[in-house]
Amino acid sequence: MSRIREVPASESRGHAALSPTLLAWLDAEPLVMGTVLEVGTGTGRLALALAPRARRVLAIDTDAGALVEARRRARRAGLGNVLFVVADAERADYRALGRPDVVAAHLCMSDLIVLRAAAGLPLGGVLAFAAFHVDQWRETGRTSRFAYDTDRARAVLEAAGFRIEGLEVEREVTRFESSEEAQAFAAPFRAKWETDGRWAEWERFLAEGGRTLTESRLVARARRQGQG
């Protein structure tokens, strides 16, 4: 299933919003009974959104600086049941980290993380994530090596022993009135796009009359099955 939202620049949510589908799916889980492990938490926005409804949230990231900010935000929000730990989600032993019942991720996903989650969750445990979809920023001519399409996500999850309960694409296409409006909108990404070669492709797209920018996420919910 695909949800497509077409908006003018003034209404674009872009990177600013957590995936509504992921939040709704996690809402349906009995988090109050168990431990959520969030991988790639950054400054903790998903962990902080889940903490009020969960017994315990453990959130990891390789970026120690981002976790300093995450801890500050947790303190400010008065949340005592969320712990931020520096760890590599592709290498860590999730069971040893904290026996999670749910592994969640927002814009941090890879095949190795799926395998780690499969090894670390109990039977019936849930992996729920929003990943970049292959159409993310398609106008810049490059696909992130971490991006998934529906078929690849399905294959990777099933090969790791998950039963897929939901797979959706959330897409927001921002439409611009002019090339100048598009350039201004993308200005926050310029430094990054210049280093990875996207900016030149984006300028070419605009020069050829293109007036869109696509945000696209693959959202998945899967339950561990098979041998314990």
User: Residue 143 contacts by C-beta under 8 Å, 6 or more apart in sequence?
Assistant: 134, 136
For residue 191, the SS3 value is: helix
What is the closest distance, in whole angstroms, from the C-beta atom of residue 105 to ligand SAM in the complex? 7
Both structure tokens of 15: 């990177």
Q: Which is nearer to ligand SAM, 12 or 41 (CB)?
A: 41
What is the closest distance, in whole angstroms, from the C-beta atom of residue 142 to ligand SAM in the complex? 16
What is the closest distance, in whole angstroms, from the C-beta atom of residue 177 to ligand SAM in the complex? 28
Question: Taking the chain, what is the end-to-end CA distance rounded to the nearest angstrom?
Answer: 31
Q: Which is nearer to ligand SAM, 131 or 157 (CB)?
A: 131
What letter represents residue 33's amino acid? M
Query: In what order do the strands lie in the sheet containing 35-39?
Result: 2-8, 162-175, 212-224, 126-132, 102-106, 35-39, 56-61, 82-86
Q: Which is nearer to ligand SAM, 63 or 181 (CB)?
A: 63
| Strand ranges (E), 40-124 | 56-61, 82-86, 102-106
What is the closest distance, in whole angstroms, from the C-beta atom of residue 4 to ligand SAM in the complex? 21
What is the closest distance, in whole angstroms, from the C-beta atom of residue 117 to ligand SAM in the complex? 12
Q: Which is nearer to ligand SAM, 42 or 125 (CB)?
A: 42
206/184 Cα distance (integer angstroms): 12
Q: Which is nearer to ligand SAM, 61 or 172 (CB)?
A: 61
Which spans of this chain sit near ligand SAM (rule: CB under 6 A)?
39-42, 45-46, 60-63, 66, 88-90, 106-108
